[in-house]
Amino acid sequence: MKPSKRLKVSRAVVMSTSSLSGNGRSRAQLRVYRPGDLRHIKEQRATEEVRVLNVQRINEGDYDYELSSPLDMPTILSHAGGEIAGDIGEGLEGDDWEECADIYQELLDGCRRIYRVDGRKRRDRTERTYYHWTPQYDCIVDAFMDWCLNEEQGHCIPENIHGFPSISVTVVDIFRTSKRLVPLTGDQYQSASMVRAGIFPSSPLRHHHGFSTRTLHLFHDLFCRCPRLSIQPFIKALCDVQGFPFRPYLMQQFSSAYDTYLEVKARVRRLVAHALDRDSPDWRITHTCPCCQNELEEDVALDIRMMVAMDRNDLLKRVERRKEAADDSAAEVTGSGVIERVDPRKAGGDYFLSRAVVDEWAEENWKNVTPWIPEGGFREWVWKTGRCEEKWHNASDKNTGKSWAKFDENGIFLLICRHGLVLSLADMVKAKYSLATMHHFLEAEKRRRIINGEEGPPTGKLCFAYDVGCTNSKTVHRSPLASLAKYMGYLPAIGTMHGYAHERACQLNFLLLYQTGAGLEDGETCEQYFSKSNALASAIRHASIFHRRQMITEYAYHTDNFETYGNLSKFLRNHYKQALKILGTVDSLKTWMRNAGINDARIIFRWLEEEAAYLQNLSKEPPSETLQMEYYGKLVTLKGCQAVLKEARHAWLSYRPGERDQTAALEWTQCHAQENERKILADVHALESKLDIRIRWTEGSKEWDQAEALVTGAKYRRALDKLEGLLVSRIFELSRLNISGTGYKMRKHLASALKKRSKSIQNAITEYNNIAIKMKPPRCQVDWEEVVEYAFLSEFDILHDTREDIRKRPWAVPANRVIMTQFFKVVGAEDELARVHQEIQRLITSIQHESFDWSTNSKYFFPGTPVERTSDNKGCPIEVLKADGGDEEDDGSGDDDDDDEEDLIQRVDAFLSVAEDVLGG
């Protein structure tokens, strides 16, 4: 059947799709055509737009087709008027269907292009991704364990497995990026099949890209060893190694795959803990350190059963993302202005205390906490409290109770044992994190004793070393935690490095040097840990809440298990050698004590008691002395007022008329002097009545001189306090001058640097010396060199006396004070030997039990060779390639078990022999 009418399109008027739509040629370019041609073009455009909407897509190469008749279409009037069909037919010549087909194809592609409006919000992208990943984790964990077993035994899954479909994935490896075929081995999710093949996908649903497991493992180990390494430099390094430019989108893909990798590893750890029956909430914190917590029946009772340290670190803070005032973005903002994405993931595991648990111990919530009361009542044990808040700024309420507006988490609060193993972590967020951390640990220890059937309070004290332990002891004493702390034997202490910045009275109560049973422990384990963990600061400063905790937890876990635990034997060996070295000075100490007339060690303990009593009385001035100094001050002021009044009267009486009229000014001065005299006299009369003074003191009388000495002494103490306060800010530099091993040149260099930048200290020294001369008897003056040569800042405290001269007391003699310090070091060395002996036995026993647990539970971890493992869905066996070419079968003789047991016995015997050599040496 022939078409009723064919349209003929002329080459002269054929235009591109962009020209027909008005987006291509300008009006100036269109003027080259005749007016009639322009009319034809416009009408053709309208016709084609209507026609395209009513026809089907043209197959490629099919140009011989019929067009709908213009008579069947609605009539459309042109600008010039007239019907479209007739005008077009008259103006078109030629029969170029190829050009017409191209025009139709372009028009179809352009008109049918649909722009999808995405109504999703990026704010909940993380949340939706998490909910897509969650149901897949169980299958991925099984696949990951299969891959680990295959990798260990040299097996690999081939890309093509008969009977299984496969998908193509772009895999980023360490040295190359390539397309790989991943067989779908019957798993419920494609992601599990990818993980079984050693690839972690970067998205939960569309698996087009992934990273090899060994690449993720490499980054994890590099990060744990060098926390400064973040994802961006690692991805840039991969791009450099593989020879292509940096691709920023790889960072997001790698971050998603890495989060999945860490979540899978965490779930595998929980499965292992469950198989070993170590999955109780308190198991990790009560079994973290084998040397501290692996109690044995043959243990000897120590005065301090366990020593831990706790401290805050404000370098590991995180910036809270808030909407700026000028930010007009369409991001969803909460009422507080926070613009962070919603992230339901929880990181930290059993290391971190939740924010809700920490907030329970804020002071305003203490009324909601029920104190724990033991059935047997309290032990007769109350710790001492200190008063060093004025010197330690991080102990003030404004720093412990308030959070900086810029940061959400101001840092972390760490609880760590003396061997460096992390017990717990807490975020510092507007809460009493120290109380929450202590309660978490003490409550776990109490529950462990109940489970083990131990009755009554534990034997020995539990020492908590804290740089503001004196202040924290008062907080614990008045908090609901006090009863539990008393029951568990809480002993507050301050570390050696921070302790010498405390006042002397505080040191006598809390410094570890004077704590019986503390040994040679310095209590500064947190500072040693922070010196390494501070490298995390740059990576977590702008991270999300989840990723911040994730990085801190992974670092803590890796450090505990791969560094600190492996160095326990080295720790014990070093402390043992240190104790033996100090004990080697016993003969010299005995000689010094004999020359000083110290025939009994109890004399040194009595000296400490006398010094503590002296400092305690020194901090409290008698009320009578305070009133006498006030009365003396009023008399001095009265004397000055009377001198001014006398001078004013003399000036008024000597006034001569004829000069400039100053009568009013003289009378005004005289009236004011009389008024001041009356006020001072009233105060003097009141003080005389209170002190029962019948004869007013006069200058030169005995009472006047005594009161003057009291006032001078008060000024002396204020000058000394000012000098001491200025030195507190330089305490660590000053202590560095006296550290054993610091050379002469280094000490002089530090002293010179301090002198140049410490003009205020020099002014304080001058003020102190001016007042020291007026003392009766005159006090010794100090200069800059003498100040920096003080052994410790606390030596200033023995200069405070004004009521009695203590320079001749034996405990104030510098030589005797050196003997006291060395004596307590020797006592600590003896305690350290006893503790190290016990910790060596605990460590060896723990190694034996650890090997036994793994050997008896091996059936949970090694159910068979990879060939015997089948898919959990279809039950189809998966063929795996073995590197050595064959499988080894068990003959059932049990020789392998015997070999493992013999190997274990040999390793334990070797360790025992080394320990005996160390103890014997």
Q: Give the residue-averaged pLDDT of 159-163.
A: 74
With contact defined as beta carbons under 8 Å apart, do 666 and 673 qualify? no
Residue 817 lies in a domain: no
Helices 35-52 and 97-111, axial angle in degrees (round to 10): 60
DSSP single-letter state for residue 877: B
DSSP 648-688: HHHHHHT--TTS---HHHHHHHHHHHHHHHHHHHHHHHHHH
Higher pLDDT, 282 or 763: 282
pLDDT of residue 891: 45
pLDDT of residue 77: 45
Q: pLDDT digit string (tens) for 46-74?
A: 666 655 555 444 444 444 444 444 444 44
- Lowest-confidence range among 16-30, 378-392, 630-644, 793-807? 16-30
CA distance 749 to 743: 10
Top-confidence range, 410-424, 655-669, 905-919: 410-424
Residue 778, class by beta-carbon neighbours within 10 Å (0-12 exposed, 13-18 middle, 19+ buried)?
Answer: exposed
- 413 shares its domain with 529: yes
pLDDT of residue 630: 78
Question: Domain range holding 632?
Answer: 623-696
- 135 shares its domain with 186: yes
Q: pLDDT digit string (tens) for 221-268?
A: 999 999 999 999 999 999 999 999 999 999 999 999 999 999 999 999
Q: How many helices (H) and strands (E) does the chain have?
A: 36, 13
Residue 725 lies in a domain: yes
**Phi, psi for 757 (deg, rounded to 5):** -105, 10
Residue 330 lies in a domain: no
pLDDT of residue 286: 93
Q: Using 50, 70 and 90 to split pLDDT, how confident is the model at 354?
A: confident
Q: pLDDT digit string (tens) for 179-226?
A: 999 988 888 899 999 999 999 999 998 889 999 999 999 999 999 999
- 591 shares its domain with 638: no
Is 50 exceeded by the pLDDT of residue 333? no
Is 50 exceeded by the pLDDT of residue 866? no
Higher pLDDT, 572 or 760: 572
Higher pLDDT, 335 or 902: 902
Is 70 exceeded by the pLDDT of residue 381? no
Residue 903, class by beta-carbon neighbours within 10 Å (0-12 exposed, 13-18 middle, 19+ buried)?
Answer: exposed
pLDDT of residue 456: 83
pLDDT of residue 14: 38
Is 90 exceeded by the pLDDT of residue 553? yes
- Lowest-confidence range among 280-289, 547-556, 768-777, 860-869? 860-869
Average pLDDT value over all residues in the chain? 74
- Lowest-confidence range among 66-75, 102-111, 264-273, 901-910? 66-75
Residue 827 lies in a domain: no
CA distance 209 to 10: 51
CA distance 833 to 302: 12
Residue 2 lies in a domain: no
What residues have CB less than 8 Å from 362, skipping those under 6 apart?
A: 430, 431, 432
Element (H, E) at 849: helix 814-856
Pairing of strands 199-201, 209-212: antiparallel
Top-confidence range, 320-334, 498-512, 573-587, 846-860: 573-587
Give the count of beta carbons closer than 10 Å to the beta carbon of residue 781: 13
With contact defined as beta carbons under 8 Å apart, do 536 and 552 qualify? yes
Top-confidence range, 27-36, 382-391, 536-545, 668-677: 536-545
Q: Give the residue-averaged pLDDT of 144-170.
A: 84
- 203 shares its domain with 308: no
pLDDT of residue 198: 93
What residues have CB less than 8 Å from 81, skipping those under 6 apart?
A: none
Kindly tell me the sign of the dihedral angle through the C-alpha atoms of 693, 694, 695, 701.
Answer: negative
Give the count of beta carbons closer than 10 Å to the beta carbon of residue 661: 9
- 455 shares its domain with 505: yes
Q: Using 50, 70 and 90 to split pLDDT, how confident is the model at 825?
A: very high
- 219 shares its domain with 132: yes
Residue 570 lies in a domain: yes
Percent of the chain with pLDDT over 90: 28
Q: pLDDT digit string (tens) for 489-506?
A: 999 999 888 777 777 778
Q: How many domains does the chain have?
A: 6
- 743 shares its domain with 861: no
DSSP 217-243: HHHHHHHHH-TT--HHHHHHHHHHHHT
Is 60 exceeded by the pLDDT of residue 78? no
Of the three residues 111, 135, 154, the one that is the final residue of a domain is 111
Q: pLDDT digit string (tens) for 134-151?
A: 999 999 999 999 999 888
Q: Give the residue-averaged pLDDT of 80-84.
A: 47
Q: pLDDT digit string (tens) for 882-894?
A: 334 444 444 444 4
Q: Which residues on adjacent β-strands are paired with residue 425? A: 352, 414
- Preceding peptide of 233 cis, ω within 30°: no
Residues in the chain: 921
Is 80 exceeded by the pLDDT of residue 391? no
Q: Give the residue-averaged pLDDT of 382-393.
A: 54
Q: Using 50, 70 and 90 to split pLDDT, how confident is the model at 324?
A: low
DSSP 809-843: SGGGSHHHHHHHHHHHHHHHHHHHHHHHHHHHHHH
- 475 shares its domain with 527: yes
Q: Which residues on adjacent β-strands are paired with residue 594? A: none
CA distance 355 to 426: 8
Higher pLDDT, 854 or 564: 564
Q: Give the residue-averaged pLDDT of 78-88.
A: 47
Give the count of beta carbons closer than 10 Å to the beta carbon of residue 574: 12
Q: Give the residue-averaged pLDDT of 797-806.
A: 53
DSSP 277-302: T--STTHHHHSS-HHHH---TTPPP-
Q: Using 50, 70 and 90 to split pLDDT, how confident is the model at 526?
A: very high
Higher pLDDT, 650 or 442: 442
Q: Give the residue-averaged pLDDT of 662-687.
A: 77
Given its phi and psi angles, is residue 822 left (phi above 0), alpha (psi -120 to 50 degrees) or beta? alpha
Percent of the chain with pLDDT over 70: 64
- 543 shares its domain with 441: yes
Q: Using 50, 70 and 90 to split pLDDT, how confident is the model at 787?
A: low
pLDDT of residue 152: 85
Residue 794 lies in a domain: yes
What residues have CB less than 8 Å from 754, skipping those under 6 apart?
A: 730, 733, 734, 761, 788
CA distance 819 to 608: 12
Question: What token pair was written down for 120?
Answer: 């999703």
- 679 shares its domain with 748: no
Is 80 exceeded by the pLDDT of residue 326? no
Q: Using 50, 70 and 90 to split pLDDT, how confident is the model at 305?
A: very high
Of the three residues 83, 111, 139, the one that is the final residue of a domain is 111
Residue 537 lies in a domain: yes
Q: pLDDT digit string (tens) for 699-741?
A: 878 888 777 777 777 777 777 767 765 665 454 445 445 544 4
- 359 shares its domain with 494: yes
- 477 shares its domain with 575: yes
Q: Using 50, 70 and 90 to split pLDDT, how confident is the model at 8?
A: very low
Q: Using 50, 70 and 90 to split pLDDT, how confident is the model at 363?
A: confident
What residues have CB less than 8 Å from 712, skipping those under 6 apart?
A: 771, 774, 775, 776, 802
pTM of the model: 0.69
DSSP 445-462: HHHHHHHTT--SSPSSEE
